[in-house]
Amino acid sequence: MKRLGAAVLVMAVGCAPLDVERRTERGPLLRTYSQEKALNERIPFATTQVQWPQLTLAFSSSDICRTEQHGEYAEDIISTHSNTGAAAAVSTGGILTVLGGTLLVGRTLFSDTPNRSAIDEKGRYGASSRDVATGWGLGLLIAGVPAVVAGIVQLSRSGETRETRKADELLSLREVPCQPKPVDGVVELAGGPDPQPPLRLTLNGALVLTADEIRRLSFVGLALDGTPVTLEEEDLDRLETFRTCATLLATPVDPEALAGEARSHPDRLRMKRELARGCTMLPGAPAQPLLEAIEGALGSTAL
């Protein structure tokens, strides 16, 4: 029975779960890589090209590609195993073992004479002091030695373990048009305050508008076969610049009128100068004579 109790004690203490504290430490960057995935969401796009006095709208059907930039790192998982009861078990077990061993070693110092002051029902005297010391010594050893062993086992299981693995982190994400294919269809110039312009058909995926047409047309958006068309910011700016210059350059250059405007509305003329400078960025646009005339009018006013 005593052996069974000792075995149970060893198993209970030795198999007790340890407290585990985990922390993660990031190591160096191993590599970066990109992943691109088509979303299968084809939508119409348009790009703009200018060769004065024409603006060409090139239509295409593009998929949307999601580009992900990833970073791969080395990552350490550090696990700290501890048991707050292990040290106490070793300490307590050590004390019990020392006491039990002392009693057993020194049992000869106790009297071997039965305890005649106590007698049981069968007429037997009580145990002698030596027998009592021996019993206590064995009991303390049975309790102390397994506790020491179990505590040492627990302490040996304590400590840190380190596991290195690769970790992936998303660094950036963007969605851009990809896999363009030219498309033809019916173009709708929509959204203007005036009556809607007539529908137009593309030819080889393109629609050509002249400066005179742009000046007369009123629209704020495009649709291809009823689906809104997306323009990148650069193409949209080029379209608006062409529309502005179509109106600005349609009027003949009149130095006298510009000089009068410089005297009466100099701020408005300075704004017109900035618009004329924008027109010089359009290939073939005859904006230089107007820009020089405005510069001359503003210069003469300053004098």
Domain ranges of the chain: 84-157, 251-303
* Mean pLDDT of the residues in the chain: 82
Confidence of residue 154 (pLDDT cuts 50, 70, 90): confident
Q: Say which residue the tokens 């998982």 belong to.
A: 77
Contact criterion met (CB below 8 Å) for 142 and 9: no
β 219-224/227-228 pair status: antiparallel
Alpha carbon distance 138, 25 (integer Å):
50
* Residue 223 backbone phi and psi in degrees, to 5: -140, 140
| Mean pLDDT to the nearest integer, 154-180 | 81
Residues across the chain: 303
Amino acid symbol at 251: T
For residue 139, pLDDT over 90 is answered with no
Is pTM beyond 0.85? Reply is no
Element (DSSP H or E) covering residue 280? none
How confident is the model at residue 25, as a pLDDT?
Answer: 81
pLDDT in tens, 172-223: 888 888 888 999 999 998 877 777 788 999 999 999 999 999 988 888 889 9
185 vs 147, more confident: 185
3-state secondary structure of 249: coil
How confident is the model at residue 75, as a pLDDT?
Answer: 87
How confident is the model at residue 303, as a pLDDT?
Answer: 44
Confidence of residue 63 (pLDDT cuts 50, 70, 90): confident
| Mean pLDDT to the nearest integer, 64-93 | 80
Strand positions, DSSP E, 94-142: 115-119, 125-126
Alpha carbon distance 274, 291 (integer Å):
9
Confidence of residue 18 (pLDDT cuts 50, 70, 90): low
